[in-house]
Amino acid sequence: MDLRQFGNTSLKVTKIGLGLAALGRPGYINLGHAEDLDQKYDLKSMESHAHNILTHAYSKGIRYFDAARSYGKAEEFLSSWINDRNDIGIGSKWGYTYTADWKVNAKHHEIKEHSIDVLKRQWQETLNTLNRKPDIYHIHSASIESGVLENKQVLDYLWQLRENGLIIGLSLSGPRQADTLEKSLEIKSSEKQLFQSVQVTWNLLERSTTEAIYNAVKAGYGIIVKEALANGRLTDKNTAPEFQDKLKVITEIANEYQIGIDAIAISYILHQSWISVVLSGAVQKSHLDSNLESLQIELNPGKIEKLNQLVESPEEYWQTRSALKWN
C-alpha cells in the first residue's frame, strides 16, 4: 500500500488505517461485537488477539493506527506490539476517560470532559503508555456544545504541543459535526492553523460534513474517516427491517464486483478526492481482508449515483447510532 502525504504535514500515511476502538476493550457498540471477539474478554486473550490483528494489518501494508485514552487498553496493546516498527504513524485522542472497568454492562463506558486538567493528565498518560509521542493528537468528539474550541487554556496548551512538532486534530461526532469543523478553521495565529487533522464520521449514510471537509482540505487538514461501516450497519449483520431496501442496493453492487458490501462502502469513501485515511475497525483478520478489497475496485459513475441515494439526514443517522447497544 503506497504512502501519501497527510494534508500539509510531513506525515506519510496509508489509504487504509486500523482503528482500535473495538480491539482495546470488551464492550463496544458495533453490531455483533461479542461474536467478533469470540467471547474471550479476559485481558490476556484480548491483548493477544489485538497483537494478531495488528501484525496482520502491518503485513498487509497498513501503516497508520488509531487509538484513544477511552479505548480501554488500546494504547497499551499498541505499545506492547510496536517493538522496532518505526515506519508507522499513530494517532490518539484525549477528552474521554474509560470508566467501564472491563465490564460490558457498565453504567457508563466513558465520560467526556474537555478541561485543561483532563488534557494535561491524558497527554502524560498517552506519553507514558506509548513510550513515544503520537504523530497526531485529536480532541475526542470535539463539539460546539462542549465549549472546547473556546477554552483558552486548552487551546494555548494545544498550541504548545503543535509548536513541539505534534499534529493537532479533532475528532467529530453528532449531527453538528460540520459546525464544529467550520469553527475549528477559525482558530489560527498569524495565518497558521492550530488544527491540521480531522477525524470525521463520513459514510454512505452520513455525509453532512462534505462541504466543511472541502474547506478543511483547502486549509491544509488531513482527513481521516471513522465509522466507515456505520458501526456495522453497512454490513450483512444489519438485519433491521427498515434498512433492507438500502442493503439490497449495496448487496447487488457488491455481487457484481464479487466482494463484500463492506468493501463497497469503503470504496465509495476512497472515491472521494479529499480522503487521506479510511479507518478499518476490523476485529477479525477475515474482516480486515474484506475491507482491503476496497482498494482493488473502481466504482463507475452509475454505481456511485446509486450509492448516493442511500444518504440519511444527520438527525436520523445519529438517532439510530445512539440507539445501538454496547455488547
Residue burial 190-199, b: 16+ Cβ < 10 Å; e: rest: eeebbbbbbb
Ordered mean pLDDT values, 10 residues apiece, the chain (327 residues):
96 98 79 68 92 98 97 96 94 89 70 96 98 97 96 98 97 96 96 96 97 98 96 88 93 97 97 98 96 96 97 93 74
- Percent helix, strand and coil across the chain, each to the nearest 5: 40, 15, 40
Q: Which helix (H) or strand (E) holds 98?
A: strand 96-98
- Ordered by start, the domain boundaries in the chain are 11-285+300-322
Q: What's the pLDDT at 41? A: 80
Is 3.20.20.100 the CATH number for 11-285+300-322?
yes
DSSP track, 31-82: TTHHHHTTT--SHHHHHHHHHHHHHHHHHTT--EEE--TTSTTHHHHHHHHH
Q: What's the pLDDT at 325? A: 72
What are the pLDDT digits (tens) for 149-164?
A: 999 999 999 999 999 9
Q: What's the pLDDT at 109? A: 74
Q: What's the pLDDT at 40? A: 77
Q: What's the pLDDT at 100? A: 62
Task: Give the SS3 label for residue 227.
Answer: coil
